[in-house]
A and B are shown apart, each in its own frame.
Chain A
Amino acid sequence: MKWATPSQLRKQGILGMNSRNIDYIGRSNERRLYPLVDNKLKTKNAAIKMGMSVPKLIGVVEIQHEIQNLERLLDGIKQFVIKPAQGSGGRGILVIKDRRGDDFIKTSGELVSFRDIRRHTSNILSGLYSLGGRVDVAMIEDMIDFDPMLSKYSYEGVPDIRVIIYHGYPVMAMMRCSTHASDGKANLHQGAVGVGIDILSGCSLYAVQNGNKISQHPDTHHSFDELKLPHWDEILRLAASCYEMTDLGYFGADIVLDEKNGPVVLELNARPGLAIQMANQAGLKKCLKTIDNMKLIKQPLNKRIQLAQQLFAAQQR
C-alpha cells in the first residue's frame, strides 16, 4: 500500500493528468477539431467519407416529430442499436437483439414494447443522456455481432479496443471488457476490466480491474492469458488512419470487432483517460517522448504502423 514517489513515476515514464492536459492535449489538439469527435454522427460521416468501416447507420431521428416514422424505419430489422450522438460514458444506448411478436428483446433478455423504444428515443432528443443536457439527435445503427472468440471475455456488453494514437502513431492499446460490476459498460472507472494489448502481436499483456491486477474475467472466469486479438494489423491500421480523418495529434480510437465486417470504428475520444497505463503496466509518456524525439515529418500510414510496432512492442520495454 506504499505510495510511489514522483521520481519513481518519472523514471517509468508515467503520464499524469496535468502533463496530459498541457503537454499533449493542449499542444496537439486544436479546439476547433473537437466537435468532430464529440459528436458520433459527425465522426461516422467523416469515417464513411474516408472509406473506413463503421457500424452501418440505419437512420437518424433529429426532431421529436420524426419519431412517428420510427416504426417504418425499423420495419423488418431485428437487430439494432439506438444511441445519442453526444452521449457520454455509454449512457442511453439501447441494444435490441431480436423481436418476438410486437415486442423487442434487449441483450439482457428483457422484453420491451415499441412504446418504450419511442419514449427512449424521445428522451435522447431532449438531451437526457448528453453532457449538460444539450439537445441531441438519436442514431440508429446495426447491432454489432462481436467476434464470438471474444465473448468469453465480456459480460453483457461489447468489448472494445482502445488505441492511443499520437501524431498518427499507435502507441498503446487495451481491450475493455464489461463486467457485471460495470453494468455492461466498458468504462474502467465503473468497474470494467482493462486488458493491455501488445502493439506488435495483439496478444494480451496484463489485466486490471479497479486498479488491481487480475488474471481471469471476474464473471466468465476465463483467463486472459491466451487472448490474442484476431485481425490485429487491420485494427491498428483502422485506428491509425483516424489521424488523417481528424487531424487530432492525441486521441483514443475505440474499435470493435464485428463478426461479419471485421474491425469497425465505434467512436473517437479527444481526452482519453490514463488507466491504459495500468492495463499495460507501462508509462505512456515514454512512448510519447520517443515519437517527439524522432521529429518525423508526416509519414504514410504503413510506415507509421511498422515503426510503431518496432518501437512499442512489449519486449522493447
Chain B
Amino acid sequence: MRVSPQLQIILVAGVIITLGLGLTLYKKFELGFPLTPGQQQVVWTIESKISFKPVGGPLEIAMVLPKPQAGWNILDDHFASSGFDFLIHDVEGQRQARWLRESLDRKTTLYYKLEVYRASAFDLDNSPLPKVLAPELTADRLAAMESVISLLKQYLHDPLVFTKELLGLLLQGDNQDLAFLLARQEDRPLDMIMDILALADIPYQAVKGIFLEDGRRRQTLDTLIEIHDGERWHTFNPLSAEQGLPENFFVWQRGTKSILNVMGGERSSLEFAIVKNKLPIKTVLFMEQHLEEQLLLDFSIYSLPVEQQGVFKGLLLIPVGALVVVLLRVLVGIRTAGTFMPILIALAFIQTTLLAGLFVFLIVVGMGLWIRFYLSFLNLLLVARITAVVILVILLMAALSIVSYKLGFEQLLTVTFLPTIILAWTIERMSILWEEEGGHEVLIQGSGSLFAATLAYLLMSVELIKHLTFNFPELMICLLGIVLLLGRYTGYRLVELYRFRDLGKLDE
C-alpha cells in the first residue's frame, strides 16, 4: 500500500510531536522538573584543570577539595581520572583528592568539576587562630617594614583599622618604603602584606578561592586575606583594599597550605573554566537529591563538560530563531535575504544588544554596499569579489571599533560579534539584488531580514524560552514536527490576502 506524501508527513510529524511532548511531560510530572523558570538560582559550574608534565617515576597528585562555607553549597562534583588510581580521604577535617599512578610519560590533564551555588551570603565562620611565625627577612627589608609600621602606629591597637590603612597606603602607591619592598619582592604584594601583618603581631590567614565570572576559561586561584581583631575574622581584598567577602568569590580553602601538590611531575598548573547558569530553585533542590539516580538526567545537557554546556545554551536557541523565519516566510510571506541570515544576525544581537546591533549592522552593510558598487565596475570574478568584500568588512569593523572607542561609544565595540562572512554575503547578495531588481527590492528584503532577526532575537531572549530550550531539549523534536508540517502548508500567505484582495471579491 502506498501512503501519500501528505499523509506520511502528517503521521511522522504527529509521532515526533507526541514523542517530544511526552518526554517533556514525563520530565515535568515524574521527575519534577519545573516548566516555568520560577525563582532563579544562580548555579556556577567550575571545571578545574590540573595539568602537569611527569618527570618519570611514580606520580602522586593531591588536591585539597573545597568544603561548603560562607553560604556556598556544593551541588555536585565529578572527577575525571583515566588511568589513575583515585581516592578521596579526610586530612585534618578537609577532604582531599588523591590521584596515584606508577608511571606516565606524557603531559597530562586531570579534571575536577563541581557545581556550586550560594544560597545566602554569610561571612566566614570563626576558625581557630593559626600560629603566626615571625618572618625571616633581610635587614633592609625589616627596616622598611618597621618604618611602614611606625607610620601607622597610631592604629596598632585596632588590627581592623591598621589593615585598612595599610592596604589603603598600598593602593595609593606613593609610600617610599612600600615601593622599595615591592620593587625587590619577587613574589606578589600579598606576601609582603602578610609579612608586615606578622611583624605587627596581627593574626592573619589567606583565603584561597576563585572570582566567578561567566564564560571565563583560564581563571586561576585568587587569594584574599583575613585578619582577626580578637573577636572575629575580617576579610580584605588585598588588591582593592575592600573589606568583606565579595559576593562572587567562591572560597576554596582558608589558610596558607597549598591546594595542589604534584609529586613526580613538574610545571603543574591549576586553571578553572567557569559557566554561570540560572536554574530554577526547584531544579537545584531536585538535582541535589536525584542526580545519580535518573538515566534521563544522566543523559541531559547538564552532564556535559562546562564549556560545551555554554555552547549548547546558544545552540539550543537556534531552532527557535529558525522557526520564526519559517513562519514569517511561509505563513506571512515576508521576503528575507537568505534563510539563515536573520537567525545568525539574531544570535549576534544577543551579544551586541538590539539597538547597538541594528545600528552597527546598518552602518557596515550600508558602507559595504557603497564600496561594492565600485567593485562591480571592475568586473571581478565572483570568488575574488566576495573575498574583497570580506576583507573590506573586516576593515570596516576595525575602523568602526577604533573610531567608536576613541569617541567613547564602547557599546559599538561589540561589532566583532557580528559574523563577518554573513555580513560579506549579505552585502554581496544585496548588491546583486540592487542591480537585478532595483533598490526597492533591496529595501523590502533588507527590512524583511532585519524584522525577522529582531523578532527572533526578542523571542530568543524571553526567559521562559531560554529555560525551556535548555532544560527541555526534547521540545526541539516538537519543533522539528512543526517545521515538517509547515513545509507542506499549501494555504495562502498573509501578504497574498492583500495582493489578491480584488480577486477575492469578484462575485460581489
Q: How far is the CA of A221 from the CA of B254 in the complex (A)?
A: 94
Given A14-B504, A16-B492, A133-B432, list of 4 further CB < 8 A pairs? A3-B498, A6-B497, A17-B493, A18-B489
Is B491 an interface residue, CB under 8 A from the partner? yes
A132 near B436 with CB under 8 A, answer: no
Number of interface residues of B (CB under 8 A): 30
B382 close to A4 (CB less than 8 A) = no
Binary contact readout A63-75 vs B (1 if CB under 8 angstroms, 0 otherwise)? 0000000000000
Q: How many residues of A are in contact with the other chain, CB < 8 A?
A: 37
B442 CB, nearest partner CB in chain A, Å: 14
A36-44, A123-131, A138-146: which lies at the interface: A123-131
Known contacts A16-B493, A18-B489, A88-B436; A133/B382 CB under 8 A: yes
**Chain A CB within 10 Å, residue with most, of B376, B493, B499:** B499
Partner of A3, one of B333, B435, B497, B506: B497
Q: Give the 8 A-B residue pairs with the shortest CB-CB distance, closest first.
A: A4-B504, A8-B504, A19-B490, A16-B492, A133-B382, A4-B501, A3-B497, A9-B504
A4 touches B503 (CB 8 A): yes
| Best-buried of B379, B381, B432, B504 by chain A (most CB within 10 Å) | B504
A249 neighbours in B (Cβ, 8 Å): none
Stretch at the interface among A151-159, A232-240, A277-285: A277-285
For A190, list chain B residues within 8 Å (CB): 437-438
Count of inter-chain pairs, beta carbons less than 8 A:
93
B residues touching A (Cβ–Cβ < 8 Å)?
330, 333, 376, 379, 381-382, 385, 432, 435-438, 488-493, 496-507
A211 CB within 8 Å of chain B: yes
> Which residue of A has the minimal Cβ distance to B494?
A3
Chain A nearest Cβ from B438, distance in angstroms: 7
Question: A132: which B residues are within 8 A, CB to CB?
Answer: 382, 432
Q: Show 18 residue pairs from A and B whose CB-CB distance is below 8 angstroms, ordered by the A residue.
A: A4-B498, A5-B497, A6-B491, A9-B500, A14-B500, A14-B504, A16-B490, A18-B490, A22-B489, A23-B490, A123-B379, A133-B382, A133-B432, A134-B382, A213-B502, A277-B500, A281-B502, A281-B506
Could you tell me if B493 and A5 are in contact, using CB atoms closer than 8 angstroms?
no
Interface residues of A (CB under 8 A from B): 1-6, 8-12, 14, 16-19, 22-23, 88-89, 91, 122-123, 126-128, 132-134, 190, 211, 213, 277-278, 281-283
Given contact pairs A3-B497, A4-B497, A89-B436, A9 touches B382 in the complex (Cβ within 8 A): no
Complex contacts, B504 vs chain A, CB 8 Å? 4-5, 8-9, 11-12, 14
Pairwise interchain contact B501-A17, C-beta atoms closer than 8 A? no
Beta-carbon nearest neighbor of B504 in chain A: A4
Instruction: List B contacts of A128 (CB < 8 A).
Output: 376, 379
- Give the complex CA separation of A278 and B501 in angstroms: 10
CA distance A89 to B437 in the complex (A): 8
- Enumerate chain A residues within 8 angstroms of B497, measured Cβ to Cβ: 3-6, 9
What separation, in Å, do the CA atoms of A282 and B330 have in the docked complex?
23
Question: Which residues of B lie under 8 Å from residue A89 when comparing CB positions?
Answer: 436-437
Interface centre among A3, A11, A190, A211, by most B CB within 10 Å?
Answer: A3
Known contacts A14-B504, A89-B436, A132-B432; decide if A211 and B499 are in contact (CB<8 Å): yes
A111 to chain B, nearest CB (A): 22
B399 to chain A, nearest CB (A): 27
Nearest Cβ on chain B to A47's Cβ, whole angstroms? 26
Partner of B503, one of A91, A134, A281: A281
Asked if B498 and A14 make an inter-chain contact with CB atoms under 8 angstroms apart, the answer reads no
The docked-state distance in angstroms from the alpha carbon of A6 to that of B503 is 11
B385 / chain A contacts, CB cutoff of 8 Å: 133
- Quick one: which of A12, A88, A123 has the most chain B CB within 10 A? A12
* A16 to B502 alpha-carbon distance, docked (Å): 14
In the complex, residue of chain B having the shortest beta-carbon distance to the beta carbon of A10: B492
The residue on B at minimum CB distance from A88 is B436
